[in-house]
Amino acid sequence: MKNFETILLTKTDNIATVTLNRPNAANGINPVLAGELAEAALICDQDKTIRCVILTANGKLFCAGGDLKAVGGEPENAAIKIKGMADNLHKATSTFARMEKPFIVAVNGMAAGAGFSMAITGDFVIAAESAKFTMAYTAAGLSPDGSSSYFLPRLIGIRRTIDLMMTNKRLTAQEAEEWGLINQVVPDEDLQTTTMALAQKLANGPTDAFAAVKKLLLCSFDNSLETQMELEGRMISERAGSVNGQEGVLSFLEKRKPKFV
């Protein structure tokens, strides 16, 4: 797949892995990384041979957030640079969230600031035992970005979101799981194998049905009950008429494992 400067994009069979690759800079997000992440997300979205996407990082940290060194030396241009970085990060986040393939985030270490924001956008989030989570934005006099003001209240409620964003409380991986921020905590040495096992399971599943689940949930807080149920009715009808829907029902009746395409 395409070579990048600050990330790695690889594909094994039908699973793509996007790896933040600035370990000597705490995988901090600079303008180059933000742009490359947006491009990688688009590639993953458009490549029909990819059936599941993993986001992870090299090194001891997942991501320490925005690389303030990239903007700190030019205070007069800081606002422009940060807006550009945020725009590209948000492109990537939106693409990952809305693409039809399942999206897994494997958090290998500290996730701070925009790293925290990115970590919780996954359809599934698996964290190493050593991982920690902190918002960190207000400690630098900044406000959150990377979709955290959207996802956090939906995951844990307003009270806990305000606590995290204003006090910069640091959560362990175990606490993040207890709060409902992530799905699973595993020993550090098991992170890669656990993530890949889940990715393989999802990649062999009915991707179009997974896409319908994502579409339904992303709009569920905005729709009325009747609107949401109408959408559910239309989507399940479409799935019932699809190749995977017909195979799923037939395999159930025949008591065999389905073969999804």
Listed by start position, the domains of the chain span 7-203, 207-253
Q: How high is the mean pLDDT of the chain?
A: 94
Distance, CA of 176 to CA of 60 (rounded, Å): 18
Could you read off the pLDDT of 218-260 as tens digits, one per residue? 999 999 999 999 999 999 999 999 999 999 888 988 999 899 9
| For range 55-83, the mean pLDDT | 86
Radius of gyration of the CA atoms of the chain, in A? 19
pTM of the model: 0.93
The model's confidence at residue 63, banded by pLDDT at 50, 70 and 90, is very high
Distance, CA of 54 to CA of 252 (rounded, Å): 29
For residue 155, pLDDT beyond 80: yes
* CATH entry 3.40.50.2300 includes domain 7-203: no
> Sheet harboring 124-128: ordered strands across?
7-12, 15-20, 52-57, 103-107, 124-128, 184-186
Distance, CA of 98 to CA of 102 (rounded, Å): 10
Could you read off the pLDDT of 45-54 as tens digits, one per residue? 999 999 999 9
What is the CATH architecture assignment of 207-253?
Orthogonal Bundle (1.10)
For residue 73, pLDDT beyond 80: no
> If 0-12 CB within 10 Å is exposed, 13-18 middle and 19+ buried, where does residue 23 land?
middle
Percentage, residues of the chain above pLDDT 70: 99
Could you read off the pLDDT of 83-98 as tens digits, one per residue? 999 999 999 999 999 9
Q: What is the pLDDT of residue 192?
A: 97
Distance, CA of 130 to CA of 122 (rounded, Å): 19
